[in-house]
Structure 1
Amino acid sequence: MMKLDTIILLCFLFNTTQQLNLNSCACDLTSKEKAFPHETLNSVNDNALNCSQTVTAQKALELESLLLGLKLRLPQLLNDVSILEKEDDGELYGVVSLQVIENELIEIKNMIDRLNRTTKGHQQLTADSNQQLAHLREELQELEQYDTLQVEMRRKDNQRLKRALDECRNDNDHNPQPTHHPDNVCPHGKFVNITGPRFYSTGESTVNHKYGGWGRDPEPELGKENWYWRVILNVNNIYANQISFYSSLSSLTVGVKTPDNFIIHPSNPTTNTIQGPNVVLYGGALFYNCYNSDRLCRYNIATKTISTVQLPKGARYNSKGNFCHLSECYSYTDMDLATDESGVWLIYSTVQHFGNLVLSKVDITFPDDPPSLNQTWHTSVYKQAVTNTFMACGVLYATRYINQDMEEIFYSFDTSTGVERFNVGIFIKKMCPNIYFLNYSPVDQMLHVYCDAYMVSYMVLFEEIM
């Protein structure tokens, strides 16, 4: 009986399926629209991406930097030649200055060669890019025919109307306001690159004195505008007790000091002794980290007096918060002094801020009142991931170690806006593996470097304000 029921059910399903098949229908759909060419669109996207990767802002910046470098170098060369013509010192300084001029001519020739190579490369790049853009334009025009809803056409019409409206507004503005640059804009323009090295010498020092600092006073006494100063740490690279002065770059090169050389303290270090290489001279006073102390010292050259200021609680000192890279830390670089167009700055780190860079403006009062720390900024970059810092036009810049031949200015912090950048991407060609001292001179827009007993300088390039 069970088998008979099963057979009857199967027969019923078969008959029902046959009836459904007889009643089914099918139709063909024919579209008058062309199939959208997705492959062409993908090809356009790929070509546009390749073009944007080939034509970069960095290529244009390289050309602009070379042109700006030549513009700055040529007047400096004329000035150096003029100084050479006036020198009359038994031929000693004349020979040194002549060597400096010869080096400048070699560097200028190298810059012109690089400029010629860059120009030829850019000409070929321009020709190739024009050809690619023409091809992309043709492909985009072909793709526009698929814009059946005219979305792209309406967008272009709106853009034309907006431009016409802007032009109409500009024409009706009969009393335009004069353009004023904000007070926080750098008078030289935007910092874009460096060239060099311009100067490279050990002076009278030996390679045993690896650490030290040198530079110029941004606010010199009358008659000392062309003087240079130098501080050399002792052989254990911890402290120094005197500052030396030189009447010119030639004097610094051959090691001829002026009579105005000062011993801050006898050879045995005390709390007033210089600790670490990061010192600066400003307004006839030397600023440095007080020995074995979390205080900032100022030594007044004229009065031979020392005044100090206590750093905030938790400031790291005594080689606890140094500049470092992966394989080495630079001893006793906890505190970094810097100068720029506005005065003196102190860069350090604190326990409370997790070892990140802290920046304070040093309030300078003369002649005998101690300095003080004014406004303070906290950054998000770890100090021991940085090899050095400097200031220029109120902007903090930090460097990192790339290899023995190259250092990168990778970070900036603008004190006027609080904006941080981690992609500055300006490279320094090093003359020795480690930079122990780095400071910007607003007098001549130079970077002064001290590395393994050598003094090196680089020209800072700024993009002119239009």
Structure 2
Amino acid sequence: MLSTLLLLLPVISPTLAWIPAEDWESGNVTSSVGVLGECLCHVYLPDTTFPADRLQHMQEVSKDLIQEVQIQMNKISTYEEKLESYSGELKDLLDRVAILGSSADYVKLDFELLRIELREFESLVSQLKDSFNSSSPMFDSLYTEIRNMTLIVNQLESYDKSNLEVIRIEFIKLQKKLEECQKDQEFSKPDIGNCNHAGIMRLSKPVVVQLNSHLQTGYIYGGWGKDSKPVKGSESMYFYSGYSSTYTTRFYFYSDYKHLLLVKSSGYIEFPVSYRGYGNNYVVYGNSIYYPRKSPFSMAKFNLTSGGCDSRVIPSASTAFSYSYSSSQYLDFAADEKGLWVMYASEESKGKIAVAKIDEKGFGIEKVWNTAAYKQMTGNAFMACGVMYATRAVDMNTEEIYYSFDTRNGEEKNLSIRFPKFQETYSSLDYNPTDQLLYMYNNGYYVSYYVKFNMV
């Protein structure tokens, strides 16, 4: 018996050596005596078999999910293009309705064409709804609007201008809803006021609203937008100023977006002769217009509540450096989540853009930062969350944000954030913190962009 035990020990010992001592007492190891009187040890090892079958199943499921995500992304891309295309066609319809309203030379065929194109819009909305398997109120509302417009067109038995004005208003509503739908597909809901991000990631395709309120293609200098810090009751107000030269004399105001589209202003203000503006890079902030004054060359402020004017000379600001798209753009005002700003170039900076923070109450300069962006090589610049972004042309149809300067830490970045232009040149580009949109006056047209930030 002893000899048998000694023979078995060399076989058993290597297996038992790695088992923790506490497992000997936990029931994982037991002993018994065999039929020949030998000592037998029984070791119960845990199940350590690798679950290869489950891993394979997970890989197959992951592959299927990736394919499904790709299919849905392709669908989104396809319908983004369709939305953009139909938004452009809708603008053409608005122009045609406006022409019909100004002339008696319309025939029944014109209305039949409108009905055909409305059916195409109805088909688009149905496709969108089916593709995204969505019962979103947005799609339902769009569908209802289109059906209502079709009924209106069908009920027009007498072709007078009052009826045409009804169609025009309905088309404007539909255009606004399509723009909102396009925004929902491309960009998530903006986080207004939040600057906890790593800067701008990209811009949307341009949303071309319409030609300026004067309906003048020659009014290529100007600007439009909203108050960046509106007083109570003016949150929906829009402004516009435009002319065939860089002189700034009048500002028109519209109670809301619909009245802007209908060219129905709620009034206008005209600067005093001694406070005429020069250049088109202005903003409305806190119910005051901030703009460049011509003589003496200075930054000016027009209070919309009191009608009072004020100005301050910036000694270092120079009239030798303008943006590349137009002359006389010497002072560029901007407003963002961090306050009010003015950008300019000086002889000391050798034409590079300087960013100055404006003290709202005292209407003076608090602090100045010097950047590495040459103003004459820059198409325009704007501020967002205390960061200056400079743009330049890539080609006739493409612009890019090529440079940024962060006033919070002095950090500079070379960027290449490209975005399409409606037309080659523009005279103003301003970010608005109340809706996180970029407002561009693009060769006489109202154009806007949705801004997507790189959230951290």
TM-score bucket of the superposed structures, by smaller chain: 0.5 to 0.7
Residues 1:191 and 1:402: Cα distance change in structure 2 (over 3 Å): same
Q: Which residue of 1 aligns with 2:318?
A: 316
Q: C-alpha root-mean-square deviation of aligned residues, in Å?
A: 3.3
Say if 2:169 is the partner of 1:93.
Answer: yes
The question of 1:256 aligning with 2:283 is answered: no
Dislocated runs of 4+, deviation >4 Å: 73-82, 89-92, 103-109
Inter-partner Cα distance in structure 2 for 1:282 and 1:438: 15
Please tell me the residue identity of whatever aligns with 1:413. Answer: F
TM-score by length of 1: 0.60
Other-structure match for 1:338: 334
Do the aligned partners of residues 383 and 203 (structure 1) sit closer, same or farther apart at CA in structure 2, a change above 3 Å counting? closer
Residue of structure 2 aligned with 1:393, choices 379, 382, 385: 385
Note if contact 2:345-2:351 (Cα within 8 Å) is conserved in structure 1: yes
Q: Pick from 426, 436, 448 the counterpart of residue 417 of structure 2.
A: 426
Separation of aligned partners in 1, 2:184 and 2:342: 36
Equivalent residue for 2:394, pick from 396, 402, 406: 402
Residue 347 (1) aligns with residue 343 (2): yes
Identify unmatched segments of 5+ residues in structure 1: 1-62, 113-183
Note if contact 2:183-2:450 (Cα within 8 Å) is conserved in structure 1: no
Within-5 A mapping of 1:287-306: 287-306=290-309
Separation in 1, partners of 2:137, 2:382 = 24
Residues 1:372 and 2:364 aligned together: yes
Q: Deviations 1:357-379 (Å, cap 9, x if unpaired)?
A: 100011101xxxx5111111011
Q: Kindly provide the amino acid, as one letter, of the partner of residue 264 in structure 1.
A: F
CA contact (8 A) 2:208 2:422 kept: no
Instruction: Give the length in aligned residue pairs.
Output: 305
What pairs up with 1:17-416 in 2 under 5 angstroms? 93-105=169-181, 186-187=195-196, 190-205=199-214, 206-233=216-243, 235=244, 237-259=245-267, 261-265=268-272, 269-270=273-274, 272-313=275-316, 315-317=317-319, 320-324=320-324, 329-365=325-361, 371-416=363-408
Shift of 1:199: 3.6
Change (3 A) 1:335 1:78: farther
In structure 1, distance between residues paired with 2:338 and 2:375: 23
* Structure 1 CA distance for aligned equivalents of residues 357 and 255 of structure 2: 29
Question: Where does residue 446 of structure 1 map in the other structure?
Answer: 437
SS in 2 for 1:278: coil
- Among the aligned pairs, what percent are the same residue? 27
Of 217-226 and 296-305, more deviation after overlay is shown by 217-226
Distance 1:91 1:331, change over 3 A: same
Q: One-letter code of the match for 1:302?
A: T
Q: CA deviation at 1:383?
A: 1.1
Q: Deviations over 1:342-369 (max 9, x none)?
A: 221100001011111100011101xxxx
Q: What is the CA distance between 1:458 and its match in structure 2?
A: 0.3
Residue 370 of structure 2 aligns to a residue whose secondary structure is: strand
* SS in structure 2 at match of 1:209: coil
Partner Cα distance (1:374, 1:80) in 2:
49
Letter paired with 2:249: N
In 2 relative to 1, CA 356–230 (structure 1 residues): closer, same or farther, beyond 3 Å? same
Q: Is the 8 A contact 2:238 2:256 kept in 1?
A: yes
1:76 deviates by 11
Deviations 1:391-417 (A, max 9, x none): 000000000111110001000000011
- What amino acid does structure 2 have at the position aligned with 1:399? T
Q: 1:193 to 1:216 in 2, by over 3 A?
A: same
Contact 1:361–1:374, Cα closer than 8 Å, also in 2: yes
Q: Give me the whole-angstrom Cα distance separating, in 1, the residues matched to 2:442 and 2:344.
A: 21
TM-score (norm 2): 0.61
1:332 maps to a residue whose letter is S
Q: 3-state DSSP class of the match of 2:204?
A: strand
Whether the 8 Å contact between 1:203 and 1:253 is mirrored in structure 2 is: no
What amino acid is the match of 2:172?
V
Q: CA deviation at 1:336?
A: 0.7
Q: Deviations over 1:421-457 (max 9, x none)?
A: 12x1111200010121000010110000002111100
Cα deviations across residues 247-272 of structure 1 (Å, max 9, x unaligned)? 2222212211013x21122xxx53x1
Write the distance in 1 (CA, Å) between the matches of 2:217 and 2:203.
Answer: 26
C-alpha change, 1:345 and 1:374, in structure 2 (3 Å) is same
**d(CA) in 1 for partners of 2:313 and 2:137?**
42
Aligned mates of 1:392, 1:243 — CA distance in 2: 24
Which amino acid counterpart does residue 436 of structure 1 have in structure 2? S
* Structure 1 residues 141-180: Cα deviation after superposition (integer angstroms, max 9, x where no partner): xxxxxxxxxxxxxxxxxxxxxxxxxxxxxxxxxxxxxxxx
1:186 offset after TM fit, Å?
1.2
Q: 1:436 aligned to 2:436?
A: no
- For 1:398, what is the secondary structure of its paired residue? strand
The one-character-per-residue Cα deviations of 1:288-312 (angstroms, maximum 9, x if unpaired) are 0001333100000000001111102
SS of aligned partner of 2:355: strand
Say if 1:398 and 1:410, in contact at 8 Å, map to a contact too: yes
Aligned with 1:93: secondary structure? helix
Contact 1:282 1:343 in 2 (8 A): no
Cα distance in 1 for partners of 2:271, 2:138 equals: 37
SS of 1:376's equivalent in the other structure is strand
1:199–1:458 Cα contact (<8 Å) kept: no
Output the CA distance in 1 between the equivalents of 2:180 and 2:434. Answer: 20
